[in-house]
Structure 1
Amino acid sequence: MGLSGQRGHRCVPHTADVRIEAWAPTREECVAEAVAALVETFIDSSGTRPGPARDHQTPPGHDEDLLVNVLDEVIFRMDTADELPLTTEVTDDGHGGLRVRWRVTDTGAVELIGAVPKAISLHELRFGPDGGRWSCAVTLDV
Protein backbone atom coordinates (compact mmCIF):
# COMPACT_ATOMS: atom_id res chain seq x y z
CA MET A 1 0.00 0.00 0.00
CA GLY A 2 2.92 2.34 0.46
CA LEU A 3 1.54 3.88 3.65
CA SER A 4 4.15 5.45 5.87
CA GLY A 5 4.48 5.14 9.62
CA GLN A 6 3.52 2.42 12.04
CA ARG A 7 0.04 3.75 12.51
CA GLY A 8 -2.10 6.33 10.69
CA HIS A 9 -5.05 7.20 8.50
CA ARG A 10 -5.99 9.41 5.59
CA CYS A 11 -8.92 10.52 3.47
CA VAL A 12 -8.65 9.75 -0.24
CA PRO A 13 -10.62 11.21 -3.15
CA HIS A 14 -13.74 9.25 -4.10
CA THR A 15 -16.62 10.11 -6.40
CA ALA A 16 -19.62 11.58 -4.52
CA ASP A 17 -18.65 9.86 -1.26
CA VAL A 18 -15.71 9.91 1.12
CA ARG A 19 -13.16 7.11 1.30
CA ILE A 20 -10.88 6.58 4.27
CA GLU A 21 -7.85 4.35 4.74
CA ALA A 22 -6.24 3.38 8.03
CA TRP A 23 -3.31 1.23 9.09
CA ALA A 24 -1.69 0.07 12.34
CA PRO A 25 0.36 -2.80 13.76
CA THR A 26 -2.72 -4.60 15.15
CA ARG A 27 -6.34 -5.18 14.13
CA GLU A 28 -7.62 -3.27 17.16
CA GLU A 29 -5.35 -0.25 16.57
CA CYS A 30 -6.43 -0.20 12.92
CA VAL A 31 -10.09 -0.01 13.98
CA ALA A 32 -9.21 2.92 16.28
CA GLU A 33 -7.42 4.69 13.39
CA ALA A 34 -10.46 4.14 11.16
CA VAL A 35 -12.67 5.82 13.78
CA ALA A 36 -10.27 8.79 13.88
CA ALA A 37 -10.29 9.00 10.08
CA LEU A 38 -14.11 8.86 9.98
CA VAL A 39 -14.48 11.70 12.48
CA GLU A 40 -11.75 13.83 10.90
CA THR A 41 -13.53 13.78 7.52
CA PHE A 42 -16.17 16.18 8.79
CA ILE A 43 -15.07 17.94 12.01
CA ASP A 44 -12.22 20.05 13.32
CA SER A 45 -11.70 18.97 16.91
CA SER A 46 -8.58 21.05 17.59
CA GLY A 47 -8.82 22.64 21.00
CA THR A 48 -11.64 20.31 22.05
CA ARG A 49 -11.04 18.25 25.17
CA PRO A 50 -12.33 14.68 25.47
CA GLY A 51 -15.25 14.35 27.86
CA PRO A 52 -16.99 11.34 29.34
CA ALA A 53 -16.14 7.74 28.47
CA ARG A 54 -18.57 5.63 26.48
CA ASP A 55 -18.28 1.88 25.96
CA HIS A 56 -19.40 -0.30 23.07
CA GLN A 57 -19.24 -4.08 22.67
CA THR A 58 -19.44 -5.67 19.24
CA PRO A 59 -20.89 -9.13 18.81
CA PRO A 60 -18.51 -11.82 17.54
CA GLY A 61 -17.99 -11.65 13.81
CA HIS A 62 -15.64 -11.52 10.85
CA ASP A 63 -13.05 -8.74 10.92
CA GLU A 64 -14.84 -6.63 8.30
CA ASP A 65 -18.13 -6.97 10.22
CA LEU A 66 -16.41 -5.81 13.43
CA LEU A 67 -15.01 -2.73 11.69
CA VAL A 68 -18.38 -1.82 10.16
CA ASN A 69 -20.13 -2.33 13.51
CA VAL A 70 -17.78 0.11 15.26
CA LEU A 71 -18.01 2.75 12.51
CA ASP A 72 -21.81 2.39 12.34
CA GLU A 73 -21.95 2.93 16.11
CA VAL A 74 -20.06 6.23 15.75
CA ILE A 75 -22.66 7.45 13.24
CA PHE A 76 -25.55 6.14 15.37
CA ARG A 77 -24.30 7.91 18.53
CA MET A 78 -23.79 11.11 16.59
CA ASP A 79 -27.38 10.95 15.32
CA THR A 80 -29.04 9.85 18.58
CA ALA A 81 -26.86 11.23 21.39
CA ASP A 82 -25.16 14.23 19.71
CA GLU A 83 -21.72 12.97 20.66
CA LEU A 84 -18.54 12.13 18.78
CA PRO A 85 -15.42 10.25 19.86
CA LEU A 86 -12.23 12.24 20.30
CA THR A 87 -10.21 9.24 21.50
CA THR A 88 -10.75 5.56 20.81
CA GLU A 89 -9.33 2.47 22.52
CA VAL A 90 -10.16 -0.94 21.07
CA THR A 91 -9.40 -4.33 22.62
CA ASP A 92 -10.17 -7.92 21.66
CA ASP A 93 -12.86 -9.26 23.99
CA GLY A 94 -11.50 -12.81 23.79
CA HIS A 95 -14.77 -14.15 22.35
CA GLY A 96 -14.59 -12.99 18.73
CA GLY A 97 -15.82 -9.44 19.33
CA LEU A 98 -14.31 -6.08 20.24
CA ARG A 99 -14.55 -3.82 23.29
CA VAL A 100 -14.44 -0.12 22.41
CA ARG A 101 -13.99 2.78 24.80
CA TRP A 102 -14.47 6.30 23.51
CA ARG A 103 -13.87 9.64 25.18
CA VAL A 104 -16.51 11.82 23.58
CA THR A 105 -17.51 15.42 23.04
CA ASP A 106 -20.83 17.03 22.24
CA THR A 107 -21.35 17.64 18.52
CA GLY A 108 -21.98 21.32 19.28
CA ALA A 109 -18.44 21.68 20.67
CA VAL A 110 -16.73 20.99 17.33
CA GLU A 111 -16.65 22.78 13.99
CA LEU A 112 -18.13 21.02 10.97
CA ILE A 113 -15.71 21.14 8.04
CA GLY A 114 -17.11 18.49 5.70
CA ALA A 115 -20.07 16.36 4.72
CA VAL A 116 -21.45 14.33 7.62
CA PRO A 117 -21.47 10.57 6.91
CA LYS A 118 -24.87 8.89 6.86
CA ALA A 119 -23.76 5.25 6.57
CA ILE A 120 -20.87 2.89 5.91
CA SER A 121 -20.86 1.42 2.41
CA LEU A 122 -20.01 -2.26 2.04
CA HIS A 123 -18.89 -1.63 -1.55
CA GLU A 124 -15.11 -2.05 -1.89
CA LEU A 125 -14.73 -2.53 1.88
CA ARG A 126 -11.33 -3.94 2.76
CA PHE A 127 -9.91 -4.88 6.18
CA GLY A 128 -7.18 -7.37 7.04
CA PRO A 129 -3.49 -8.14 7.45
CA ASP A 130 -1.29 -6.20 5.06
CA GLY A 131 2.46 -6.87 5.00
CA GLY A 132 3.08 -7.23 8.73
CA ARG A 133 0.38 -4.83 9.84
CA TRP A 134 -3.37 -4.33 9.44
CA SER A 135 -5.02 -1.93 7.01
CA CYS A 136 -8.51 -1.00 5.91
CA ALA A 137 -10.28 1.04 3.26
CA VAL A 138 -13.88 2.14 3.78
CA THR A 139 -16.30 4.24 1.75
CA LEU A 140 -18.58 6.58 3.72
CA ASP A 141 -21.97 7.48 2.28
CA VAL A 142 -22.47 11.22 2.81
Structure 2
Amino acid sequence: MSRGHRAVSHIAGIEVEAWADTREECLAEAVRALVETITDVGDAVPDDCVVLVSAEEDDETLLAAVLGEVIRQAEGRRVAVDVSVDERTKTTQGQIEVRLATVTMADHLRTAPMAVAMYGLRFGRTAGAWRAHVNVEVRDT
Protein backbone atom coordinates (compact mmCIF):
# COMPACT_ATOMS: atom_id res chain seq x y z
CA MET A 1 0.00 0.00 0.00
CA SER A 2 1.14 3.51 -0.60
CA ARG A 3 0.89 6.31 1.87
CA GLY A 4 -1.03 9.52 1.50
CA HIS A 5 -3.37 12.03 3.03
CA ARG A 6 -6.17 14.42 2.38
CA ALA A 7 -7.76 17.25 4.26
CA VAL A 8 -11.13 18.79 3.58
CA SER A 9 -12.44 22.06 4.95
CA HIS A 10 -15.98 22.03 6.24
CA ILE A 11 -18.20 24.23 8.40
CA ALA A 12 -16.93 22.90 11.72
CA GLY A 13 -13.25 22.94 10.74
CA ILE A 14 -10.88 20.63 8.91
CA GLU A 15 -11.30 16.90 8.43
CA VAL A 16 -7.91 15.19 8.12
CA GLU A 17 -7.43 11.65 6.82
CA ALA A 18 -4.14 9.79 6.41
CA TRP A 19 -3.08 6.26 5.51
CA ALA A 20 0.17 4.28 5.35
CA ASP A 21 1.72 0.88 5.97
CA THR A 22 3.10 1.80 9.40
CA ARG A 23 1.88 3.80 12.37
CA GLU A 24 4.83 6.18 12.10
CA GLU A 25 4.26 6.91 8.40
CA CYS A 26 0.54 7.42 8.98
CA LEU A 27 1.20 9.86 11.82
CA ALA A 28 3.60 11.84 9.61
CA GLU A 29 1.01 11.92 6.80
CA ALA A 30 -1.60 13.32 9.21
CA VAL A 31 0.81 16.13 10.15
CA ARG A 32 1.46 16.90 6.47
CA ALA A 33 -2.27 17.02 5.73
CA LEU A 34 -2.93 19.52 8.52
CA VAL A 35 0.04 21.75 7.59
CA GLU A 36 -0.91 21.80 3.88
CA THR A 37 -4.40 22.90 4.82
CA ILE A 38 -3.45 25.77 7.11
CA THR A 39 -0.63 27.38 5.09
CA ASP A 40 1.60 27.02 2.04
CA VAL A 41 5.15 26.11 3.04
CA GLY A 42 6.42 25.74 -0.52
CA ASP A 43 10.05 24.63 -0.45
CA ALA A 44 10.91 26.42 2.80
CA VAL A 45 14.06 25.25 4.56
CA PRO A 46 13.60 24.53 8.28
CA ASP A 47 15.56 26.59 10.78
CA ASP A 48 14.51 24.89 14.00
CA CYS A 49 13.29 21.55 15.30
CA VAL A 50 10.77 20.56 17.95
CA VAL A 51 11.17 17.08 19.44
CA LEU A 52 8.25 15.41 21.16
CA VAL A 53 8.76 12.23 23.14
CA SER A 54 5.53 10.51 23.96
CA ALA A 55 4.66 7.40 25.89
CA GLU A 56 0.92 7.77 25.23
CA GLU A 57 -1.10 4.73 26.18
CA ASP A 58 -3.12 4.54 22.97
CA ASP A 59 -2.66 5.52 19.35
CA GLU A 60 -5.55 8.00 19.24
CA THR A 61 -4.12 9.95 22.19
CA LEU A 62 -0.75 10.02 20.41
CA LEU A 63 -2.33 11.40 17.23
CA ALA A 64 -4.18 14.10 19.20
CA ALA A 65 -1.00 15.08 21.07
CA VAL A 66 1.12 15.40 17.93
CA LEU A 67 -1.46 17.39 15.98
CA GLY A 68 -2.01 19.51 19.09
CA GLU A 69 1.69 20.42 19.01
CA VAL A 70 1.44 21.33 15.32
CA ILE A 71 -1.41 23.68 16.27
CA ARG A 72 0.60 25.20 19.14
CA GLN A 73 3.52 25.81 16.79
CA ALA A 74 1.21 27.51 14.27
CA GLU A 75 -0.13 29.78 17.02
CA GLY A 76 3.50 30.86 17.56
CA ARG A 77 3.90 31.54 13.82
CA ARG A 78 5.97 28.38 13.22
CA VAL A 79 5.00 25.63 10.84
CA ALA A 80 6.29 22.10 10.36
CA VAL A 81 7.92 21.69 6.94
CA ASP A 82 9.15 18.17 7.62
CA VAL A 83 8.23 15.47 10.10
CA SER A 84 9.84 12.21 11.15
CA VAL A 85 8.59 9.65 13.62
CA ASP A 86 10.63 6.89 15.27
CA GLU A 87 9.88 4.22 17.81
CA ARG A 88 12.40 4.59 20.62
CA THR A 89 14.29 1.58 21.96
CA LYS A 90 16.30 0.30 24.90
CA THR A 91 15.66 2.27 28.11
CA THR A 92 12.80 4.24 26.54
CA GLN A 93 11.09 1.29 24.90
CA GLY A 94 7.47 1.95 24.01
CA GLN A 95 7.99 5.66 23.50
CA ILE A 96 7.61 7.51 20.23
CA GLU A 97 9.86 10.37 19.19
CA VAL A 98 8.38 12.89 16.76
CA ARG A 99 10.60 15.55 15.20
CA LEU A 100 8.94 18.55 13.59
CA ALA A 101 11.37 20.57 11.47
CA THR A 102 9.90 24.07 11.56
CA VAL A 103 10.21 27.44 9.90
CA THR A 104 8.78 30.86 10.74
CA MET A 105 5.74 31.58 8.60
CA ALA A 106 6.22 34.49 6.23
CA ASP A 107 2.55 34.66 5.30
CA HIS A 108 -0.55 34.42 7.42
CA LEU A 109 -2.45 31.20 7.96
CA ARG A 110 -5.15 30.30 5.46
CA THR A 111 -7.01 28.72 8.33
CA ALA A 112 -6.34 29.17 12.03
CA PRO A 113 -6.56 25.78 13.78
CA MET A 114 -7.68 25.89 17.43
CA ALA A 115 -7.83 22.33 18.71
CA VAL A 116 -8.07 18.66 17.85
CA ALA A 117 -11.65 17.50 18.34
CA MET A 118 -11.96 14.22 20.16
CA TYR A 119 -15.24 13.33 18.44
CA GLY A 120 -14.71 11.12 15.42
CA LEU A 121 -10.99 10.69 16.16
CA ARG A 122 -9.69 7.35 14.90
CA PHE A 123 -6.15 6.06 14.51
CA GLY A 124 -5.38 2.40 14.10
CA ARG A 125 -4.75 -0.56 11.87
CA THR A 126 -7.65 -1.41 9.57
CA ALA A 127 -7.65 -3.99 6.77
CA GLY A 128 -3.85 -4.30 6.82
CA ALA A 129 -3.05 -0.58 6.79
CA TRP A 130 -2.81 2.26 9.31
CA ARG A 131 -5.53 4.89 8.98
CA ALA A 132 -6.10 8.16 10.78
CA HIS A 133 -9.16 10.38 10.85
CA VAL A 134 -9.39 13.56 12.89
CA ASN A 135 -11.42 16.76 12.96
CA VAL A 136 -9.62 19.99 13.76
CA GLU A 137 -11.61 22.95 15.02
CA VAL A 138 -10.73 26.29 13.40
CA ARG A 139 -11.46 29.96 14.01
CA ASP A 140 -12.05 32.62 11.39
CA THR A 141 -8.93 34.34 10.11
Q: List per-residue Cα deviations over 1:84-140 (Å, max 9, x = no partner).
A: 110000011243331011211002x2453x321100000011110122210111000
SS for the counterpart of 2:71 is helix
Gaps of 5+ in 2: none
Identity %: 39
For the Cα contact (< 8 Å) 1:120–1:139, is it kept in 2?
Answer: yes
> Which residue does 1:105 correspond to in 2?
103
TM-score normalised by structure 1 residue count? 0.86
Compare the two structures and name the one with the higher strand fraction: 2
For the Cα contact (< 8 Å) 1:61–1:96, is it kept in 2?
Answer: no
Quote the offset at 1:13 in angstroms.
4.8
SS for the counterpart of 2:10 is coil
1:70 to 2:66 alignment: yes
For the Cα contact (< 8 Å) 1:21–1:37, is it kept in 2?
Answer: yes
Q: Distance in 2 between matches of 1:77 and 1:43?
A: 13
Hey, which bits of structure 1, 4+ residues long, moved more than 2 A?
12-16, 50-54, 77-80, 93-97, 109-112
Distance change >3 Å, CA 16–CA 60, structure 1 → 2: closer
TM-score normalised by structure 2 residue count? 0.86
> What is the Cα-based RMSD across aligned positions, in Å?
1.7
Q: 2:83 aligns with which of 61, 84, 88?
A: 88
Q: Distance in 2 between matches of 1:139 and 1:16?
A: 8
For the Cα contact (< 8 Å) 1:61–1:97, is it kept in 2?
Answer: no
> Which residue does 1:79 correspond to in 2?
75
1:37 to 2:33 alignment: yes
Gaps of 5+ in 1: none
Q: 1:60 aligns with which of 56, 61, 64?
A: 56
